[in-house]
Structure 1
Amino acid sequence: MPQLSTHLAARRLAAQLPALPADMKGNQGRERARYAFVTRTLSSLGADATVTGDRAEDWRRVARQLAILWQMGRDEFRVNVSELERSARAAEAEEPAPAGAPTGTGPHGGDLIFPWQATAEDWISVPGGPSGPFDEATMAMPDRKGIARTVVLIDQGHRFHPGGPQLVSVFLESGVLIERLVAVSERAQAREQWAKDHQEWHAR
């Protein structure tokens, strides 16, 4: 059992987080946005809640933003933030990863998963957006209120001739799930559709 529950750890980190130095409030507000994200997410974790729907991911994002603030900071602020980043990594390790499909089956019959649960072998579909091989899921730059979306990169090479668009970026709000489809059948259908489109193009 952990010596300190993660919601208490979040409250402790929030209390220990130093104020953002005045010399870090420029840069078009990017560090202020990162700082707001950290405080907002720690507040949620401290209330036994979650921003993304996955508390371990919340901690990962806090740790990453603290690491960036460390890079941009100086002197005592840098030292303090470095210690908090290590604490955030430790808290992340205490959070159990969501197992299986968080909320069941998607509209196409696949498993609903968090974007960061997808792997390079997966074929995914996003709500109201494209489908294709998964490439990457990462946190977008937070806004001034500390709200950050998830950027999902999806390979679209199966839809175009070589040299055409390969990756598309889809921005998802916090808590939105993606659907993991059966990759073998999706690839087969994509090849059939490409051959059909290719034949129709040359028949013009």
Structure 2
Amino acid sequence: MAFNYSLARFLTSAPTLARCPEDSGVEVAFAGRSNAGKSSAINTITQQKALARTSKTPGRTQLINVFSLGEDSERRLVDLPGYGYAKVPEKVKLEWQRHLAEYLQKRASLKGLVLVMDVRHPLTEFDLALLDVADERDLPVHILLTKADKLKQGAAKNALQQVRSRLREWEDLVSVQLFSALKRQGVDEAHRRLDGWLAHEG
């Protein structure tokens, strides 16, 4: 089943898991370091300019932002708070990370996680911690190595291979691709992965 991602519409913002929409249907969440290009990736995948807000100041996504696929609120995309870079007090940062982990661990409708990493700085400590959380609940993860246009083709392919080899222990659960919001590279591949997860029947 192929979904029309251009129909995605803002549904709600929630500060905590408890304030999220009812835990039914199917969700796919996007997570990533605050400067990895997560908002740009979401906007490119949904063919919209400002569904997810991009900011000159990384780390502005401080809420769990939920989007429905058109009228179907049983199929949702979720933009999780960015982590690890934002210029905010440590106490606030730890609070975000707690809500992030709680959502990933407890959200029953969550069927897949898109983990966004800058191709030039992949697999940070935070990324690996998120992969551990996903592994604990057998949650499949698809990694977008963003900003692939910043590297020459050979260097980008090398980066992709290096990430794949480092993630060999998770290969049953994790897939990886190159992505560029600027060049619209990798959009079809990302759509296919999302389609597979969102077709899940609850």
Answer yes or no: same fold by TM over 0.5.
Answer: no
- Give TM-score scaled by structure 1 length: 0.28
Structure number with higher helix proportion: 1
Question: Which gives a bigger RCO, structure 1 or 2 (Cα 8 Å, sep 6+)?
Answer: 2
- Give TM-score scaled by structure 2 length: 0.28
Larger Rg: 1
